[in-house]
C-alpha cells in the first residue's frame, strides 16, 4: 500500500471506453470523403493523440493524403459530430464507478487530467455520471501544454496544494507515464487501455481498474 491521497486519472482508455464513439466520428468524416468506414477491430491503432491525429490515421489507413487547407475543416466536422454523439456507445470501464465511490468515501482527492478538450471531457463525464466523483477536471482547452509535457500534472498538484510524494497518476499511454516519471511521481499503467505497448516504465501495472486499490 502507498501513501497516496491525491489521484490523477487519464480519461479515454483509462476511465472510459470512448473508442466506439470516436470511431463513429472518424467514420462520419471518412464517408463524407468517399472512403469506407473502418472496422472497430482497428480502434487501438486509431485512438489517441486528439482529433487531428485520428483523422490523419484514418486517411492514412487508405493511403490517402490530406491537404493542409482541408485539414482544419475536417477537424471541425469531426469535433462537431463527436460533441453531439460522445456518449452513445462510450461507457465506464468495469469497476470504475464503484471504485470512485469508495475513493470518495475515504476522502481521496481526485482529478481527471486529459488531453481531450475541456468541453468534451466535462460533457462525457457528466453524461456518464462520473463528473460527481472529481474535485478537478482538467482538459486541453487551457493554456497549459498537453501531456506528455508535465504542465498539466503540475497544475493538478498545485491545485490540491500537495506534492508528488502523495500523488499518483493513472493512465493507459506514454503520455500519462512520461510526465509522471519526469516529476518523479508514482504511476499506474492500465493494460486494458488503447496503448498496445506493454514496455511502459510505470511504477505499477494493472489489468482491471479496481486493482488500483492495491497500490494506494
Which pairs with CB-CB distance under 8 Å and at least 24 residues apart come from 100-109?
100/130, 100/133, 101/133, 102/213, 103/7, 103/133, 104/133, 107/5, 108/4, 108/5, 108/6, 108/7, 108/216, 109/5, 109/6, 109/7, 109/135, 109/160, 109/162
Per-residue pLDDT at 143: 87
Kindly state whether residues 69 and 175 are assigned to the same domain.
Answer: no
Q: Kindly state whether residue 1 falls inside one of the protein's structural domains.
A: no
pLDDT score, position 108: 97
> Could you read off the pLDDT tens digit of each residue along the chain, which spans 216 residues?
678 999 999 999 999 999 999 999 999 999 999 999 999 888 888 887 778 989 999 999 999 999 989 999 999 999 999 999 999 999 999 999 999 999 999 999 999 999 998 999 999 999 999 999 999 999 987 689 999 999 999 999 999 999 999 999 999 999 999 999 999 999 999 999 987 766 899 999 999 999 999 999
Q: Tell me which residues are annotated as active site.
A: 10
Task: Kindly state whether residues 40 and 117 are assigned to the same domain.
Answer: no
Q: Within this chain, do residues 108 and 135 fall inside the same structural domain, yes or no?
A: yes
Query: Which residues have CB under 8 Å from 216's CB, separation 6+?
Result: 1, 2, 4, 7, 108, 168
Residue 140 lies in a domain: yes
Does 29 share its domain with 10? Answer: no
103 shares its domain with 26: no
Range of the domain at 198: 6-17+92-214
Are residues 51 and 97 part of one domain?
A: no
Amino acid at each position: 500500500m502507498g501513501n497516496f491521497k491525491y489521484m490523477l486519472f487519464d480519461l479515454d482508455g483509462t476511465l472510459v471506453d470512448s473508442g466506439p464513439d470516436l470511431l463513429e466520428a472518424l467514420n462520419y468524416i471518412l464517408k463524407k470523403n468517399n472512403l469506407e468506414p473502418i472496422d472497430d477491430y482497428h480502434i487501438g491503432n486509431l485512438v489517441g493523440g486528439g482529433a487531428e491525429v485520428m483523422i490523419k490515421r484514418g486517411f492514412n489507413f487508405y493511403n490517402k493524403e490530406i491537404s493542409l487547407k482541408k485539414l482544419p475543416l475536417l477537424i471541425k466536422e469531426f469535433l462537431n459530430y463527436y460533441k453531439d454523439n460522445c456518449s452513445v456507445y462510450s461507457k465506464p470501464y468495469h469497476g470504475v464507478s464503484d471504485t470512485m465511490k469508495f475513493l470518495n468515501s475515504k476522502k481521496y482527492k481526485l482529478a481527471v487530467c486529459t488531453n481531450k478538450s475541456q468541453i468534451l471531457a466535462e460533457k462525457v463525464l457528466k453524461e456518464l455520471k462520473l463528473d460527481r466523483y472529481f474535485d478537478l477536471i482538467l482538459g486541453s482547452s487551457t493554456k497549459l501544454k498537453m501531456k506528455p509535457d508535465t504542465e498539466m500534472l503540475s497544475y493538478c498538484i498545485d491545485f490540491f496544494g500537495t506534492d508528488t510524494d502523495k500523488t499518483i497518476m493513472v493512465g493507459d499511454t506514454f503520455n500519462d507515464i512520461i510526465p509522471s516519471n519526469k516529476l518523479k511521481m508514482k504511476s499506474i499503467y492500465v493494460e486494458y487501455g488503447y496503448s498496445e505497448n506493454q514496455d511502459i516504465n510505470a511504477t505499477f501495472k494493472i489489468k482491471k481498474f479496481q486493482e488500483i486499490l492495491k497500490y494506494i
